[in-house]
Structure 1
Amino acid sequence: MSEGALSMSMGQLGPRLREARTRAGLSLRATARALGVSPSFVSQMENGKSQPSVATLYSLAQLLGVSVDELFAAEAGAGQGDVTSAAEQESVETGESVSGDGAPRTARSDFGSPVNAFPRQANGRVSVTRPGERARLEMNTGVVWERLATNTGPDFDFMEIVYPPHSSSTTDGTMLQHAGYEFGYLLEGELEITAGFDVFTIKAGEAMGMDSSLPHLLTNRGDIPARGIWFVAHPR
């Protein structure tokens, strides 16, 4: 199936994916883990808010025990409202919180590296994303990552991050570490960054670079959101 055909059918595909997943007895989290993506992305596919690549769609079909043709030929299942309700119910079963659009929030510690946060797509020479149409991941701490480019491949992520007032990377202060490097430029607010034994604060207009293998934690101790542009390099 071509990317164009996939795009035209996304409105009907989401509910059918959810119906097939339910029949297979898989939770959002289990499905996401098997695909190597976030639970939020699976929920967004089922709500018609994110479009899977052809490769992801075939992987989903194989995981759920259906053919791609079945997914596009079957009658649509539950409506948009039913999908959101199911996501909310599943969040209770899995212990995930739910964001305002019904997509389950995830804990930052659930995925070791940011390379697992968003689905990997084929490289293209040009990538354009627009507000309201970007892949978005909301953590259970309230922190939001939004992908700014889709053609970064497996080696990089280019995203906007938002830390609400008094939020942190993890709910319990656990330090994080993963291979690679990350570089950030803060647009608004302030962020306290703990990297190994060093603790420093960057303000709007300031930037940082960090070896991500250092145990690290980002915290907004202020009363206004901290918003920045982040570039994360993943080693092969």
Structure 2
Amino acid sequence: MTESETVRLGARIRAYRTMRRLTVRGLAGLAGASPSFVSQLERGRTSASVGMLRRISGALGITVADLFNEDDGAGHRVVRRLERPELPAGPGTRKYLISQRPLQNLEVYAGEFEPGASTGGEPYSHGDSQEILLVLRGRVTVWLGPPAEAVANTLAPGDSVEYRTSIPHRVVNDGDGTAEVLWVVSPPTPL
């Protein structure tokens, strides 16, 4: 890699790190590197092995290829409903990624729940970002908090709830028909 390529790579790593609201120390911890190494890498003063770049990109929730993509994301990207990437989900649940990779400032998901379906038997948490769940169709209950202390929030179409992704949460379709929801998370959380 040339010196200018090393500097540009470091700048992209720093940009993704700041979008994720990670400190140098935080990224280093997630990637299994020293903070001084990450700092030097971001300033273009050193290069990294492919293995280290994989760990860094994984910690940032992107691919190694994204680290080398110099496209600034200008313009727009259309995602047709039938072309949405589907994520693994439980029985009776479908979850689709709306925002396209590499995730930059936010991530958006659409979800469909058959009657009685949920995000799983146990609440889950991921990272520490702001998350909004908006009900588009049907009725769901969003449980927020640890299982012993969880608060139930029943939402109808047009209702939303906002919470930190670090708070355990679970979504259940208590209604008789299919429920459709939209999740918006900013900044994107590690996968």
The counterpart of 1:231, out of the listed 173, 184, 190, is 184
Whether the aligned pair in 1 keeps the contact of 2:90 and 2:119 (CA below 8 Å) is: no
Q: Which residue in 2 is equivalent to 1:160?
A: 110
Distance 2:94 2:164 in 1: 21
The counterpart of 2:144, out of the listed 178, 182, 195, is 195
Q: Which residue in 2 is equivalent to 1:148?
A: 98
Q: Which residue in 1 is equivalent to 2:122?
A: 174
Distance 1:216 1:132 in 2: 28
Whether the aligned pair in 2 keeps the contact of 1:192 and 1:199 (CA below 8 Å) is: yes
* 1:70-111 Cα distance to aligned partner (Å, 9 max, x none): xxxxxxxxxxxxxxxxxxxxxxxxxxxxxxxxxxxxxxxxxx
Q: Percent identity?
A: 22
| Correspondence 1:212 to 2:165 | yes
| Matched letter for residue 215 of structure 1 | P
In structure 2, stretches of 5+ residues that fail to align are: 1-49, 51-59
| Correspondence 1:132 to 2:82 | yes
Distance 2:189 2:88 in 1: 24
Cα RMSD over matched residues?
2.8
Q: SS at 1:132's partner residue? A: helix
Structure-to-structure mapping, 1:25-64, within 5 angstroms: none
Structure-to-structure mapping, 1:1-40, within 5 angstroms: none
Q: How many residues align?
A: 121
Distance 1:182 1:235 in 2: 10
Structure 1 position 204, deviation (Å): 0.5
Whether the aligned pair in 1 keeps the contact of 2:93 and 2:114 (CA below 8 Å) is: yes
Structure 1 position 138, deviation (Å): 3.9
Larger RCO (alpha carbons 8 Å, 6+ apart): 2
Structure 1 position 155, deviation (Å): 4.3
Distance 1:235 1:146, change over 3 A: closer
Q: Which residue in 1 is equivalent to 2:29?
A: none
Distance 1:152 1:200 in 2: 32
